[in-house]
A and B are shown apart, each in its own frame.
Chain A
Amino acid sequence: MLDYIRSNRREVIAAIVLLVLLSLYLGTHPRGASTYVLTIWANQCLILGLAAIAQFFAVVVRGIDLSVGAVMALTNTLASHLLDGSAIGIGFGIVAVLAAGAACGLVNGLVVVYGRIQPIVVTLATASIFIGVALMLRPTPGGAINYDLADAVTLDVFGVPTALVLSGLLIFAFWIPFRRTGLGLGLYALGSSEQAAFQSGLDTRLIRIAAFTLAGLFGGVAGLYYSFVTTTGDAGIAANFTLNSIAAVVLGGVLLRGGVGSLVGAMAGAFILKTIASLMFFSGIPSLAQPLFEGLILAAAIAVGGADVLRARNRLEVFGR
């Protein structure tokens, strides 16, 4: 157990911080710890959580994806056209929305690998393209999403917010099995040492393309879930989500140099970030001062994660982290 905590130190710290913040939030919320409050909170958290997962897949292979928010905007506006009407039509629409997200990621991956261009540049450019398409699809916010379906995934199951059930499913039914596949391992190998991964016989190009495709796919899932929560399409959400997804993965212990961190950490980081924002909303701090306080809390949380550098007695170890 101790070994487990030590090797997953960052995730454990993130989980503790999250629990403390959540109790504070529920304590200060005028309506207390009700299913209603928890559901609203969990829905907001899961949207950013999915965006953070998208970002995680790019960061873990030593990349970064500045198009996460743009993919969300594109898939959200697409969903606002496709997710209303017959059950078959909606089913087809969901597949189309997710495919669009994955396709965006695939484009990023192909350009990064075959164009040999840095991910930050590629995704900066493609982000503009994706937002452009989103604006054409939905110049002003609007559209509709099937309410029954939206309710089914954004309310609660026997008092437990559906968003939390989905989060659990994501971790246990997707992440844990995924981590035991060659691709799951390959992502980390690639991010940690591309040369070693290549010499070990991995197809580093394929893995990098897969990583960006997964980032796009989860950007699409985030856009889809955002559609269910808001039931409208809005092309203007990109910038905010991109920046917050990066902040979330850093907060969740995913190192920007690649190779370290986990999907669980990225989600925890997103939940923490969103909880801080919600806390601010009810804390009585003037709204103009809120970004300042959010930033201070963010900086403090990251500092806690990096504190173990102070323990290093061999100065060279500090640089490796």
Chain B
Amino acid sequence: MNQHDVPLLQIRDISMHFGATKALEDVDFACRSHEIHAVLGENGAGKSTLMKLIAGVLQPTEGRIILDGADVKLATPRTAQDLGLVCMFQELSLVPDLTVRENLLLGAPGSGLGWLRSEALAKAQDVLSRIDGGHIKMSTRVSDLSLPSRQQVEIAKALMRAPRLLILDEATSALNASVVAKVFDLIRAERDQGTSVLFISHRFHEIEALADRISVFRNGSRVATFDQGVHSYDEIINMMVGQKIGELFPPKPPVSATGKEVLKVENFSWEGRFADVSLSVREGQIVGLGGLDGQGQGAFLMGLFGLLRRAEGRISISGKPVSVSSPKTAKQPDIALAFIPEDRKTEGLIQEQSILENLQLAALGFKDLDASDPELYTSTLDRLELKHGGLELPVSSLSGGNQQKVVLAKWLAIKPRCLLLADPTRGIDVKTKTQIYQMLRRLADEGTAILLLSTDYEELIQLCDETHIFYAGRLAASMSGDSMTAQNIIAASLNVTEERKVVHA
């Protein structure tokens, strides 16, 4: 670091303790202006805690935060924002009942509790149109927006505050590749104007595309900081986990077409969101669902699980036609479907209840299962290595990855014949991802049929035996074996027909 490169923000000897849990321990960290700084680490490594300290959401137990060479005390998010430290949070910070316009104005620069000033809206509108969000109407209620649109609004909201330091905590996790590219262009433009960007992501290709420097965190400490390109992925992953991970994905067993058909869906349609979807999942198979966001694949999974009224089409389980009218029917032993929803925080778990209580929710009401018996869950929890401070603690005390493990364990207790997963690894660290992949493969080997929706095409390629790509509510392509390549998946997602290859094994 030369003399002209005085860091914009420095963190000195910061510690953050939550009771007995040490989220951060004596951390030093610095980021310069004109720099995109990626922060890597498993969930629970302390990245999000560090970001919350910088954003003024939390106050450090010990240590100093230095901005432009002077100590600052960030007592509230407002203080941080007034100093130009703006955070786009992983947990969305939009108010559901207010419109897009109102959300953008909320706490906007220059407006306190008095008259609202809407000059800054033009900037937000400009940002939105540059990241494919031009269709988002200012008068729409945020609760009526899709998850990707909310993230776009969130990005616009952060950028309209003219940040000096912009924190992006899994900011693009729900966005598809083409929008992500536009967001990245915007972030680079911000950097070129002098903004310092802190970027948290679990997707390596995103980090490769964007980061100038990389810091790796592990167990509440900073392990290393280096320029992008200095270390390979493998080396970085080793730094993150502190041990060698040979393979991220478990090996795929040889293709076998002999497994019994567990789930068969024919001409499934609902409300114009998806139409005429037919597919089947055999015992031992992991079948992937891909495509751009909002192409109907999410609604399709909800429909299978009985969450949509008046969905049309035929569903058979092990050859027997069934009618799934509600989640309660879906989980009965004769159907035995389990659904891991997209939003684990609000749909998968009851945050205030204890881990054990959450685990019991799926198995409740089964005659031959004693939901209160912890034995039902221990094997799954052991296999997934749930890190917790006691099963009686509220589930909100767990990090995101560990919460997802609880969701999985809760549903595996009912021994589902077919497991439906909606993007189960979104925003989850590499190690937990690997554990989940291995778990899914093992379940498949034991005869569970698995239908996996994913926004990460590496997962579709490396983990799935067969992949179906949705486009505008229909299956645009189905591929298996060698035809599952990144090029094919992206082409099918964009419905580029020239390159479309429909290959059946």
Contacts and interface: CB of A to CB of B under 8 A. Distances in A.
B228 to A, nearest CB: 29
Nearest to B94: A196
B112 A197 contact: no
B302 A188 contact: no
Given A181-B113, A314-B308, A316-B302, A201 B95 contact: no
Interface stretch (B73-81, B461-469, B471-479): B73-81
Nearest to A203: B78
A49 to B, nearest CB: 23
Nearest to A197: B95
B84 interface: no
Interface in A199-226: 199-203, 206-207, 210
A186 B106 contact: yes
Given A316-B307, A320-B96, 15 more contacts: A183-B113, A188-B98, A189-B98, A193-B95, A196-B96, A199-B89, A199-B93, A200-B77, A200-B93, A201-B76, A203-B113, A259-B96, A312-B309, A313-B270, A315-B307
B91 interface: yes
Given A199-B77, A201-B76, A181 B115 contact: yes
Contact of A189 (B77, B78, B106, B111): B106
A196 B92 CA distance: 7
A196 to B, nearest CB: 5
A193 to B, nearest CB: 5
Nearest to B93: A199
3 smallest CB-CB distances across A and B, nearest first, come from A201-B107, A192-B97, A199-B93
Given A200-B106, A314-B308, A185 B96 contact: no
A202 B107 contact: yes
A165 B438 CA distance: 71
Contacts of B106: 185-186, 189, 197, 200, 202
21 contacts: A7-B139, A7-B141, A180-B116, A181-B114, A182-B116, A183-B113, A185-B106, A189-B98, A196-B93, A196-B94, A197-B106, A198-B76, A198-B77, A201-B76, A201-B78, A201-B81, A206-B113, A259-B95, A314-B308, A315-B306, A320-B96
Contacts of B310: 313
Contact of B95 (A192, A206, A207, A320): A192
A61 to B, nearest CB: 12
A118 B91 CA distance: 26
A191 B95 CA distance: 9
Contacts of B102: 185, 188-189
Interface residues of A, number: 33
Given A199-B77, A202-B106, A316-B302, A181 B116 contact: yes
Given A188-B98, A192-B95, A313-B310, A320 B143 contact: yes
A202 B114 contact: no
Given A181-B115, A320-B143, A195 B93 contact: yes
Interface string B296-324: 00010010001111100000000000000
A200 B112 CA distance: 12
Nearest to B157: A200
Contacts of B116: 180-182, 185
Interface string B114-129: 1110000000000000
Nearest to B92: A196
Contacts of A201: 76-78, 80-81, 107
A267 interface: no
B392 interface: no
B97 A260 contact: yes
B96 A192 contact: yes
Given A196-B93, A202-B106, A314 B115 contact: no
Contacts of B266: none
B347 interface: yes
Interface string A146-166: 000000000000000000000
Interface residues of B, number: 43
Interface of A: 3, 7, 180-183, 185-186, 188-189, 191-193, 195-203, 206-207, 210, 259-260, 312-316, 320
A104 to B, nearest CB: 21
Interface string B40-80: 00000000000000010100000000000000000011101
Contacts of A206: 113
Contacts of A193: 94-97
B115 A180 contact: yes
A208 B84 CA distance: 26
A248 B78 CA distance: 36
Given A188-B97, A199-B77, A313-B310, A182 B271 contact: no
Contacts of A181: 113-116
Could you say which of B77, B80, B95 has the most chain A C-beta atoms within 10 Å of its C-beta? B95
A283 to B, nearest CB: 38
Contacts of B96: 192-193, 196, 259, 320
B105 A315 contact: no
B186 to A, nearest CB: 21
A315 B307 CA distance: 5
B326 interface: yes
A313 B103 CA distance: 27
Interface string B248-284: 0000000000000000000000110000000000000
Nearest to A316: B307
Given A186-B106, A203-B76, A203-B78, A313 B271 contact: yes
Contacts of B57: 198-199
B98 A185 contact: yes
A175 to B, nearest CB: 15
Contacts of A7: 139, 141
Interface in B477-491: none
B97 A315 contact: no
B331 to A, nearest CB: 14
Contacts of A207: 113
A197 B98 CA distance: 11
Contacts of A312: 309
A214 to B, nearest CB: 12
A7 B141 CA distance: 9
Contacts of B299: 314
